[in-house]
Amino acid sequence: MKQPTTKQALKTLQFSFEVDTLNDSTNRIEQKAVIVSFCIDARDMTIGSFSELETYIYNSELWVKVALGLKAIKDIDPMLLTDDFYITKWTKERFNEFAGILIDLLSFFCISGENILSHLRKSNFECYADVSVLNELFCDVFSAFNESHTPSETEHFTHKGRRFIVPYNGELIGEALTWGEATEALQCDYFTKPDENNKYTQGAMLNNSLTILAACCREVRMIDKEQGVYEEKALPPDMSEEAWAAHLKKQKAFFADVPCSVARDVGFFLTNSFMSSELIISLALLFKSKHWDAIATAMS
């Protein structure tokens, strides 16, 4: 596989490169130009898809995180260091394993040309020069995706035509979040932990994010279009446990395809707002693993 050329469209990143293919009619190996397109806009990837990517990275072995640049060797216990952490000491098998991991990561962003990625799995990556092409591909895609949306500290967002607000006014519980809303979010975050092997089960991170959105975000409706005034659609103060559970289930289903950009904005607002609160335990912890600029810490 030769070094690819890059073409960036408005919301996608296209890579054109040549791969060796077998011509069935001549039974000879020939080079063929192929194009693979990747999503690089956080508004076009759902929170579910990104949570799958996030889970994959978190559950990866420590040497993979070092190879991806998410962990520094100097931060690792010397007793744990082996040849796995040093690319110069990798075997052919390790290069091929890392290539497979990079292809897995690229597949989360791929929007066309999945068959080409599948074809690459059959290739041999026997040295750093072979795998470096894939490594640079992933870095380019991930960086472009990361830079596609800068989180804004806004308490409002719109999804499927409905407007929501994160009701924070300096107090965790009271005029902002109710005891039930805050408890639901905090409990979900507390119990969303890696297993005994320090790995998250599939869907755990997504469920955590959706529960927080469902519990903390309230729908609002416009009452004065000219002045841009909204009012909250308040929930009944005497909701039963069963009604609250049904409300959460409905809201989680509604938010299941919310874009990463929205989740990032909400997380940014919650984190910055609650970190300024005097409360020692706050919702600042809830979105700690949802920030692109802190991904190295989040994936440790």
Residue 282's nearest CA partner among 291, 293, 269, 263 is 269
Q: Which of 96, 127, 146 is the last residue of a domain?
A: 146
Does residue 268 share a domain with residue 182? yes
Does residue 126 share a domain with residue 168? no
Q: Is 176 helix (H, G, I), strand (E, B) or coil?
A: coil
Please give the backbone phi and psi of residue 159, each rounded to the nearest 5 degrees, phi first: -140, 125
Model confidence at 292, pLDDT cuts 50, 70, 90, reads very low
Distance, CA of 5 to CA of 21 (rounded, Å): 19
Asked, for residue 151, whether it belongs to a domain, the answer is: no
> How many other CB atoms are there within 10 angstroms of residue 190's CB atom?
11
Q: Could you give the number of structural domains in the chain?
A: 2
Mean pLDDT of 121-138: 85
Tell me what pLDDT residue 278 has: 38
Tell me what pLDDT residue 10 has: 55
In this model, does residue 273 exceed pLDDT 70?
no
Does residue 192 share a domain with residue 271? yes
Tell me what pLDDT residue 154 has: 67
Query: Where is pLDDT greater, at 186 or 260?
Result: 260
Tell me what pLDDT residue 252 has: 93
Mean pLDDT of 104-127: 86
Mean pLDDT of 157-180: 70
Mean pLDDT of 30-40: 81
Does residue 170 share a domain with residue 52? no
Q: Which of 119, 146, 173 is the last residue of a domain?
A: 146
pLDDT in tens, 211-241: 888 888 888 887 777 776 777 777 776 778 8
> How many other CB atoms are there within 10 angstroms of residue 87's CB atom?
18
Residue span of the structural domain in which 57 resides: 5-146
Asked, for residue 244, whether it belongs to a domain, the answer is: yes
Tell me what pLDDT residue 8 has: 53
Asked, for residue 181, whether it belongs to a domain, the answer is: yes
Tell me what pLDDT residue 272 has: 56
In this model, does residue 3 exceed pLDDT 60?
no
Mean pLDDT of the chain: 76
Beta-bridge partner residues of 277: none
Does residue 71 share a domain with residue 109? yes
Distance, CA of 287 to CA of 268 (rounded, Å): 8
Asked, for residue 14, whether it belongs to a domain, the answer is: yes
In this model, does residue 286 exceed pLDDT 60?
no
Model confidence at 270, pLDDT cuts 50, 70, 90, reads low
Residue 45's nearest CA partner among 101, 107, 99, 98 is 107
Asked, for residue 45, whether it belongs to a domain, the answer is: yes
In this model, does residue 74 exceed pLDDT 90?
no
Helix (H) or strand (E) holding 31: strand 28-39
Does residue 139 share a domain with residue 192? no
In this model, does residue 1 exceed pLDDT 70?
no
Does residue 163 share a domain with residue 142? no
Percent of the chain with pLDDT over 90: 11
Does residue 105 share a domain with residue 51? yes
In this model, does residue 290 exceed pLDDT 50?
no
